[in-house]
Amino acid sequence: MEKKVELSKLVADIREITRRYRGKAAIQLNATIIDERWEIGKRIVEEEQNGEIRAEYGTNLLKELSAQLTFDLGKGYSQRSLAYYRLLYLYFPDRKILQTRLQNLTWSHIQAVLGEKNEKARLWYMDEAAQQMWSVKTLERNVGSQYYHRLLASPDKSAVSEEMKRLTAKDNIVIAPEQYIKSPMVTEFLGIAKDASYTESDLESALITHLQQFLMELGKGYAFVERQQHIVTDAGDYYIDLVFYNYLLKCFVLIDLKTTKISHQDIGQMDMYVRMYDELKRTQGDNPTIGILLCAETSEDIAKYSMLNGSKQLFASKYLTVLPSEEELRAEIETQKHLFLLQRREVN
């Protein structure tokens, strides 16, 4: 009994040591990432000041720079990312002022603060986020809702503060320090090839792979475009599970797969994907983009179709004759789930 107690104490001590050092490593790496992006922003601003002082010069510079750096170094140098790095330096030209506020803050926190144009508000948001351990979601919500300005203008500050705490209560789940840095950010920073296991479950990956083959085998005009297609907009970076072009329908078909029950948020996201695709990818002569949401957890609501920005009456019959039916999709997903589980049992 005494040996078991001693072993339990030893395990607890080693667990605490590991947690402490992983936390230190995460904090150090996070600070290094932000330092790197501050220096990139500084160099871009220096180049702009030495070059032609014209707005179009700055725009073209970021565009050309993004293309070259992405080719040479990989992810992390999109035009939007470079614009953030530039803004980081412009808002914090004194690196020491920035570094004193980085405790408990990640690069995602910094990005959220860069959306605030008022200098006092930016500094206040950073201080509060660091001291109160705000999650990125809480910080984004507070910046977006003008929390600082409302708090400043309100005669009843406690009411404004309590409302904010109530609305963000679910956002601020305390996590271990090393979890502040997600693996994709680390691999991107270190130049390591992206591992799909970081971004999707084995089940989801297997289902997407088989769905891709399944739709191609239907032979009804599907041409595969890309898997996990990366779309960059001013609002953010998005990844679409599967993208096809159907030459019979003359339109893009987007597929997003969820391993949990479909929610209103998922439907809203697909709505956004479809509208975004119509604006950025659709060309003259293409019909409205189709979005299909699939749910792998339940047979209910297995397929949701979003035919937006066009006439349903004009295309409905054609869509129904070429797109797989809900029954076909449901049967395929259930079959692949069953096979996946059988394979896992055999491996184990």
Catalogue all structural domains in the chain, each as residue range(s) with its CATH number: 2-188 (no CATH), 200-347 (3.40.1350.10)
Alpha-carbon distance of 230 to 240, in angstroms, equals 7
Task: Tell me the C-alpha to C-alpha distance, in Å, between residue 345 and each of 94, 202, 204, 336, 340.
Answer: 57, 14, 17, 14, 9
Alpha-carbon distance of 82 to 77, in angstroms, equals 6
Q: What is the pLDDT of residues 85-95, one digit of tens each?
A: 999 999 999 88
pLDDT of amino acid 232: 73
Q: Tell me the one-letter amino acid at 116.
A: E
Q: Write down the pTM of the prediction.
A: 0.52
Q: What is the pLDDT of residues 194-232, one digit of tens each?
A: 443 333 345 566 667 777 777 776 667 888 888 888 887
Please determine, for residue 115, whether its predicted confidence score (pLDDT) is greater than 80. yes
Q: What is the pLDDT of residues 236-288, one digit of tens each?
A: 778 888 888 888 888 898 888 776 667 777 888 888 888 888 888 888 888 88
Task: Tell me the C-alpha to C-alpha distance, in Å, between residue 280 and each of 158, 233, 310.
Answer: 45, 9, 16
